[in-house]
Amino acid sequence: MLLQTTGPAGCLHFPQHKFTRPTCLATAARSTLGPPHLARRGRGSAAAQTSGRTSRCRTTQAATRTEGKIASNAGKELGPPFNVVITGSTKGVGKALAEEFVRQGDNVIISSRSDDRVASVARELSGLARSQGTGSKVKGVACNICKPSDVANLASQAADSLGSVDLWINNAGSNAYKYATLADSAEADLINIVETNVLGTMLGTREAIRVMRKQGSGGHIFVMDGAGADGNATPRFAAYGATKRSLAQFIKSLQAELKMQQISNVGIHNLSPGMVTTELLMSGADTQVAKFFINCLAEEPATVAQYLVPRIRQVPTTSKGLGGGGKALDIRFLTKPKAYSQILLRLIAQQRKNRWVQE
């Protein structure tokens, strides 16, 4: 019995067994998560996960607006307001992240494959910036993350319009919005999943490095993990799980390559949003166990973004080594102790029952 607690837009594996006793559910969670005191602690993760702590980057020169562009912090210490690129950011977690960065006063480039969605969300976020009085600049760029020319254009437009790219978030991901065994999966769906989750992340990371390495201030790249990232089985979306498992190795390889190339002003890190009430998650809410864990553990995109964005903005000060030998930070919304606590409260006090779906 496996419980997978991570996933971009909340993709999660739920076994098909039916449970008649709460103790079975608790055992299922415990068998996969392991004892609470053995929750993984990565170097730097404590700083990234600590609630309530605020940290501001010192800057020697604030970014200024000139001729519709934002001056680069080239040669200066990286600090707010940040220039942010988010792939797959017209809905779900990506859009919520963009909204939160705008509320923080940062400048945001949003993207997705649809010209219409990009234009609509860019107008919406620009309106949010005006209503909040943050002065944030928002630009939308249509981009198929699987096409090298599109991704190169996204990076170039971001650098040209903002003056620099400080934070790049590889959020775009897909499970084809379907849950099926590999034997029953369509070829087109498998290709879409692998291209979006793996090739898209690689292309985005490559272009981000290209832009950031030329900036005196450098920058930080974030990869979104998901179900299967820890090596656990993901039946009914095996291809998705395999792609997310590969990204952990990808981050390690990139760290080694950055060190090998002596690129010391670019960092690469992991983001884990946990279970999020998006289309990817809710399309799989079709079993008793799925509904139980969605109610126990899932949160809305805005809630997740409000947690992640302040911690992402702290990375320039909490990550000192960057590509020059520094260890990637691992920023997690749903930690193992948190998951344990919410499951136990559900079993003991019936908290969160029917919160999102009727059980």
Instruction: Tell me, yes or no, whether 348 lies in a domain.
Output: no
User: Choosing from 177, 179, 240, 340, which is the catalytic residue?
Assistant: 240
pLDDT tens digits, one per residue of 237-286? 899 999 999 999 999 999 999 999 999 889 999 999 998 988 877 777 77
Q: Is 288 inside a domain boundary?
A: no
Rounded to 5°, the CA angle 359-274-324 comes to 175
Question: Does 20 fall in a domain?
Answer: no
How far apart CA 175 and CA 240 sit, in angstroms, is 6
Backbone conformation region of residue 114, classed left if phi is above 0, alpha if psi is from -120 to 50, else beta: beta
Choice between 92 and 58, residue whose per-residue pLDDT is larger: 92
Whether 344 maps to a domain, the answer reads no
CB 276, CB 5: distance < 8 Å:
no
Domain-embedded: residue 204? yes
Residue 345: inside a domain: no
Q: To which H or E segment does residue 108 belong?
A: strand 107-112
Query: Which residue range forms the structural domain that includes residue 129?
Result: 43-51+65-274+299-333
- Domain count along the chain: 1
CATH classification of the domain holding 171: 3.40.50.720
Lookup result for tokens 């950011």: 89
Q: Name which of 99, 260, 87, 272 is nearest 165 in CA terms.
A: 87
pTM listed for this prediction:
0.79
Distance CA 218, CA 120 (A): 31
Pair type for strands 167-170 and 330-332: unpaired
Q: Are 293 and 287 in contact (CB under 8 A)?
A: no
Question: Is the distance from CB of 315 to CB of 267 less than 8 angstroms?
Answer: yes
286 within some domain? no
- pLDDT value at residue 228: 80
Using DSSP, state whether 271 is helix, strand or coil: strand
Is 282 domain-assigned? no
Q: How far is Cα 291 from Cα 288, in angstroms, rounded to an integer? A: 5
> What confidence tens digit (pLDDT) does each residue in 145-171 have?
999 999 999 999 999 999 999 999 999
Please tell me the predicted confidence (pLDDT) of residue 79: 86
* Cβ-based neighbour number of residue 78 at 10 Å: 24
Taking alpha carbons only, the member of 215, 261, 264 closest to residue 78 is: 215
**Tokens 């809630």 -> residue:** 303
Residue 240 annotated among the catalytic residues of the structure: yes
